[in-house]
Amino acid sequence: KKIIAATAITFAAIMPAQAEFVLDSFDSYDATVELLAAGGVVSQTVINLSNGVSVDYEVTAASSFITVDNSTFPGSGVQNGILSYSASNTLGSVDITWYDADASPGGGFATGPGNSTDFTAFGDNIFIDLFDATDGDFTIELVVSYFDGMATQMVNYIFGVADGTDGTLLVNFNEFAGVDFTQVVSIQAIITGLDEDNDFDIDAVGIVPEPSY
């Protein structure tokens, strides 16, 4: 099946290895992600020990419950490197924000141009390795915060993902009008289920060059 608004999204069967920056592989946190939202909101902050990035999670369930975890089984404490989302008879979402661990919570990769992150050194696409997306459609909203020389600005881009989608999603930097990707502060992904039993797994998120075909 195809992604909704496919003109803006590219599937890549094989990602190029060179220059790739894996923002999150979901397997080197300082604590296991084990979130259960039941008719409300729960949150957790972890540190990605492999690259020094802090990760904020917020899971919202309209009713019933939603689980989000990166463990081999609930309560195990062993991280399997896959972020799993599972809804049970409820609409909901998971909001993930990546920012520099040395900054204050919510502060981002950098607090000014002197220590900002140049994502153009790694490529020109945000990639999401998504698989096993079942039981309904959902949307992904990506929010990029950047330093414009005076203040932090935010630009978002939203696209739909159809039930049964499987593979690597690529979103080109050009979809974020006006963003200076040499001065990135943080990246946020808000994934919202459009059906009451959405399930999906994410293997990695990061930056990669445009693949050659």
Compute the distance between CA of residue 139 and CA of residue 65 in angstroms, rounded to an integer: 19
User: Which segment, 113-122, 144-153, 188-197, is predicted with the most confidence on average?
Assistant: 188-197
* Amino acid at the residue 74: P
Each residue's pLDDT tens digit, 71-89: 988 788 899 999 999 999 9
Q: What does pTM read for this prediction?
A: 0.86
User: What is the pLDDT confidence band of residue 115, given thresholds at 50, 70 and 90?
Assistant: low
Per-residue CA distances from 80 to 23, 37, 46 (Å)? 16, 21, 15
Which one is predicted more confidently, 33 or 1? Answer: 33
What is the pLDDT at residue 73? 86
Q: Which residue has the tokens 């930056």?
A: 207
Q: Using CB atoms within 10 Å of the CB of residue 97, give its burial: 0 to 12 exposed, 13 to 18 middle, 19+ buried.
A: buried
Q: What is the mean pLDDT of residues 4-28?
A: 57
**What percent of the chain is modeled with pLDDT above 70?**
83
Per-residue CA distances from 95 to 44, 130, 209 (Å)? 11, 16, 25
Compute the distance between CA of residue 142 and CA of residue 161 in angstroms, rounded to an integer: 13
Each residue's pLDDT tens digit, 153-164: 999 999 999 999
Q: What is the DSSP string of 91-125?
A: -EEEEEEEEETTSPTT--S-SSGGG-B-GGGT-SE
| Contact criterion met (CB below 8 Å) for 169 and 105 | no
Q: Which of 78, 75, 36 is nearest to 59 (CA)?
A: 36
- DSSP state for residue 162 in the 8-state scheme: -
Each residue's pLDDT tens digit, 127-151: 999 988 889 999 999 999 888 888 8
Mean pLDDT, the chain, whole residue set: 84
Q: Which of 154, 177, 128, 122 is nearest to 10 (CA)?
A: 128
Which one is predicted more confidently, 46 or 8? Answer: 46
pLDDT of 207 > 80? The answer is yes
Q: Which 3 state secondary structure label does DSSP give 173? A: helix
